[in-house]
Amino acid sequence: MEQWIAMLLLISAIWLLQIRKISDSVPILAFQSFVLALTAGAMWYETKLSHLLIAALLTLVVKAMIIPAILHYTIKKIDVHRQVERVTSKYTSLLMAIILTVAGFYVTSRLHLPSTKFGEPYLPVSITLVFLGAFIMIDHKKALMQGIGLITIENGLFLVAQSISYGMPMMVELGIFFDMLVTVVIIGILSLRIHSTFESLNIEKMSNLKG
Amino acid sequence: MIDMGEVSLLLIIPLVTAVLCWKINIRIGEKLQIVTALLNVFVGLFIANNVFFHAPITGWHRLIYIDALSAFNVMLIVLIGFVASLYSVGYMHHEVAENIIDAHKVRHYYLWFHLFLGTMLAVSVVNNLGFLWVGIELTTLVSALLVAFYRKGTSLEAAWKYLIMGSVGIAFALLGIIFLYLSGMDLFGESADSLNWTVLHQAAKQLNPQWTLIAFIFVLVGFGTKAGLAPMHFWLPDAHSQAPSPVSAVLSGVLLNTALYGIFRIYTIVNTTLDGKAAPYLIFFGLLSIAITVPFMLVQHDLKRMLAYSSVEHIGIITLGVGIGGALGLYGAVLHMFHHSMAKSLLFFTAGNINQKYHSKRMDRISGVIKAMPITGSIFLIAAFAITGTPPFNIFVSEFTIMRAGFQSGHLVATVLFLLFVVLIFSGMMYYVVRMAFGEAPAKLEKKEIDRWSTIALFLPLIAVVVFGLYVPPFFQEIIQQVAFVLQGGKS
């Protein structure tokens, strides 16, 4: 069961590399966060640790609902039909994603990370999510997509903490959620300003500062 | 013994100021924020005084912990914060008069500016490393908006780069903190206290060494991005040159220190666990940061970018000093933190005045600053001599101390390289500075200072730059020694 949930997370991250329109990224991201909430919920079900339930609910509300809503609003203001632009072709990026996935599983097996009983199946996927998130940031040329990559990295880190120790202490976890929310708001604000100034979200247009 | 009232006051004042400046009439707001910033100087110094000369403060279920290192950072933030808010008034008057920004945008500036100061103060007083992370991420978010304040293409570019690089870097630091949590888990189990700095520090000897090393490397790279250590410094020259000058001063003067504070907090734990094996990493990154600024300094054409690269250099020097370690090295590093904050913020303030006078940051368009603005021009020259480590100014004292520590502890190669780079940077920077300061000012330029507020603000850091170069008062030595003692891993 856990393996299947982990696979869903992996697919969502790879999918983010294959989209055609920027607006497609929002439902995929919401789906990814929903699955993430599911993993925390499953761990809560097995262990009955109350802070896991809170983490699951917060993930559901903040990451799977509010953050996608903010991103959706931002994209709607810019242009819903805008196509993504990538550095590599669609097939190269798929190949890279597969290589990174293999690397993620390999690194995890070599690191001998201690893990909790019910978190263990997610560990390789969580590390892979961090890798894939970084690759999304590098591969996509649209400013907003870098934000999406950043959220994927954060999702990966959340899962690392979950599978190693059932999450960070509750208060810290709350602080991290708050930070995520503010980050997304500011990514939204800056994307809008970038779009209105450069008439584009392509980060290659922003290369005036050198030396 | 101090109760938590003062600490809450320290955190609440910037918050209230921010909201007030945003809501009330800006004419009153801009005066009010000077008063509250001054009030916070008193609160901050009162707390610092208690910590330095009595005992560390702890409270709110051990959520807050202020020892000498925290108090030192608080002191710097309130001092530079106050001077910058004083300077901001004149700076913003001029920007509004020149129609560069709308009058009603100014209150947004004060809103974000004071929130920014508040987040940095929060970072300095929390005990829990998780909260430390949350706070440092918040400083990035708030200051990114300040960097983007002018809404020009270049400032948006700088802000975006800063936001993305800063957030990714800090994500790495979070991974490091998760690993640190892991390294103590066998000892403490899953309790919220096990991320508390005090708890980890006491148990440092028993932590799992393999995990602490991995944690430290992640934290060093993560917070190092924020502190502007090479090779993660690429956002820094952009952000510092595009932000409004008072913000650049705060970014260089205290934000970088606050990020370093995060590294050093974790370093003191890890270095105890690893028995000194973490120090070479600091020496390596420190030297690399100094080295990398040399070529950029020599070919620079933008005044504020040059100052930003100089910040990379000085953060490198502080890191090198802590890496060299020993009582003397740490003393020099802490002293250098203070001196760099004062001299660099002073330089950014004067650069702001020059900038507004000449309507350009390009150094080849600036000449005769001393003739055009006698006060700003002379202070600019003094500050530039100070920052390049010329005697008898303050930076010379701390750089010399670090060099002496380096030779004494046998880090010969590192110290000789350090000396060589500093000399090269001195010649590169002075070449440009002398050309800007002397010579004839353009004829159509009015011979007068920008604004009395932005001139008054120059004098407080100037006193520190000049006086501490000649004489370090005993009470100040005592403070620096206490901070160095905390960095050494001693109980304070």
Which stretches in chain B have pLDDT values below 70?
A: 1-3, 189-192, 490-492
Burial class (CB in 10 A: 0-12, 13-18, 19+), B476: middle
Per-residue pLDDT reduced to its tens digit, B343-393: 999 999 999 999 999 988 888 889 989 988 999 999 999 999 999 998 889
Q: How many Cβ pairs closer than 8 A exist between chain A and B? A: 124
Distances in Å between the Cα of B261 and the Cα atoms of A77, B120, B161, B215 are: 40, 11, 23, 16
Residues of chain B positioned with their CB less than 8 A from the CB of A130: 171, 175
Token reading at B229: 């250590």
Q: Tens of pLDDT along B260-273? A: 999 999 999 999 88
**B154: nearest CB among A137, A175, A209:** A209
- Between CA B199 and CA B410 the distance in angstroms is 33
Residue ranges of domains in chain B:
4-487
Write out the DSSP string of B50-109. HHHHT--EEETTTTEEE-HHHHHHHHHHHHHHHHHHHHHHHHHHHHHHTTSS-GGGHHHH
Nearest to A164 among B134, B144, B182 (CB): B182
Are A175 and B181 a contacting pair at CB < 8 A? no
Q: How far is B134 from chain A (nearest CA, A)?
A: 6
CA distances, B355 to each of B310, B347, B436 (Å): 18, 12, 12
Contact A175 B130 (CB under 8 A): yes
A20: tokens are 């055609």
What is d(CA B112, CA A182) in angstroms, rounded to the nearest whole number? 14
Cα B125 from Cα B118, distance rounded (Å): 11
Q: Which of A115-124, A131-140, B124-133, B480-489 has the lowest mean pLDDT?
A: A115-124
Minimal Cβ distance to A150: which of B130, B168, B174: B168
Flag if A190 and B194 touch (Cβ within 8 Å).
no
What per-residue confidence (pLDDT) applies to B228?
92
Would you give the distance in Å from CA A199 to the centre of its chain?
A: 27
Query: What DSSP line would sit under B390-447, residue for residue?
Result: -TTSHHHHHHHHHHHHHHHTT-HHHHHHHHHHHHHHHHHHHHHHHHHHSSPPPTTS--
Which residue in chain A is spatially nearest to B176 when comparing CA positions?
A157
Q: Which of B402, B289, B387 is nearest to B339 (CA)?
A: B387
Average pLDDT of span A168-180: 87
List, for residues A60-108, the tens digit of each pLDDT value.
Answer: 999 999 999 999 999 988 876 778 888 888 899 999 999 999 999 998 8
Sign of CA dihedral B172, B177, B178, B184: positive
Sign of CA dihedral B301, B303, B309, B310: positive
Whether B372 contacts B447, CB under 8 Å = yes
Between A182, A183, A193, which is nearest B148 by CB? A193
- Quick: pLDDT tens for A9-68: 999 999 998 888 888 999 999 999 999 999 999 889 888 888 889 999 999 999 999 999
Q: How much is the pLDDT for B1?
A: 53
**Residue of A199 and B173 predicted with greater confidence:** B173
